[in-house]
A and B are shown apart, each in its own frame.
Chain A
Amino acid sequence: MSLFSLEGKVALITGSTKGIGKAIAEQMAKHGAKVVISSRNQDACDEVAAEIEANGGEALAVACNINYPEQLQALVDATLAKWGKIDALVCNAALNPFFGASQDIPDEAFDKIMRANIGSVHKLCQLVLPGMAKAGGGAVVIVSSIGGLKGTDKLGAYAISKAADMQIARNLAVEWGKDNIRVNCIAPGLIRTDFARALWENPEIYEATVSKYPMRRIGEPEEIAGAAVFLASAAGSFTTGQTIVIDGGGTIAG
């Protein structure tokens, strides 16, 4: 189906050795893209890249800690050295080192969340977008969260960083639209990943959680990956500056 084809494109996906990021990388590869697999651990990157290649895809494994701008630069450089361009940038890696009230979060944790989650998206876009523009355009997909849409008493700093993703998408959509670059967010709800394991592994907690969701279940990683493929492909070529919420209706019901 050519509308969703990524044939000939290069996609760089951060945080792509597990969960949502891995599903996005797998799906983008299945739809024809060459993919860059990245997370902190080189072995994990190599393993996922090998899986993708075993399934007929093309993958490059580059370890990168999004906390360090020089590592982000190296990630982009390695991609350009190998394939010469980046058509799709997927900013998926994020961290959350603190769970609790805003009153109690240590300065270092707050700074780390802002630097890693917001700063890395900003920096990666600075590094990638000029080249993307020169090559005729492309797509940025930022994996935000429904946490950035509502108030929270436990994940305050993380939620601030996720709300910032949505504003980055709006700003950069306006700034880079003339260069045929589109910038969008996906805001997943609760998805079956390690990140959210505590919320779905225990059947009682699971039932209590999903009973408030219209679809009465949590999402699967591939149900996020589909939106990423859509946004990076010709099918999504008039969609920019937006945040696509994928949560089975959890947010609108709450």
Chain B
Amino acid sequence: MNFADLAIGQLIGSRSLEISRLDLVKYAGASGDFNLIHWNERFAREVELPGVIAHGMFTMGAAVQLVTDWIGDPSAIISYGTRFTKPVPVADVDGAPGAVLEVVATIGALDADASTARIDLGVTLDGQKVLVKAQVQVRVR
């Protein structure tokens, strides 16, 4: 990848991200985050949530893969931050995803001296943002 070919506003990728209850169970196991709100419907409703919701860290972690694949080396990601603004309820259904997120990655800023790019991730559920200011700093070689 040539830094000079990059431009602010450039689209680097987009994808649909399907989430099922099984995905949340897998993420709970892999991450060690067993908070009941991510797998127990009864408990989630008791604490006034719309139902079982995805781990914010699942959404954050899955969304950044577009950037990893684009830059070609996971270690090129220097920093990554976001705010979580809306929960992502994941319905308990058979034969269809429990939620579908749309992820779009664009170049938000370029620093030629440091040879870094800021990639902005747009992550939406039914047109509403679930991550805000999701920004990834990458080193471009």
Tell me, yes or no, whether A binds B.
no
Interface residues of A (CB under 8 A from B): none
Interface residues of B (CB under 8 A from A): none
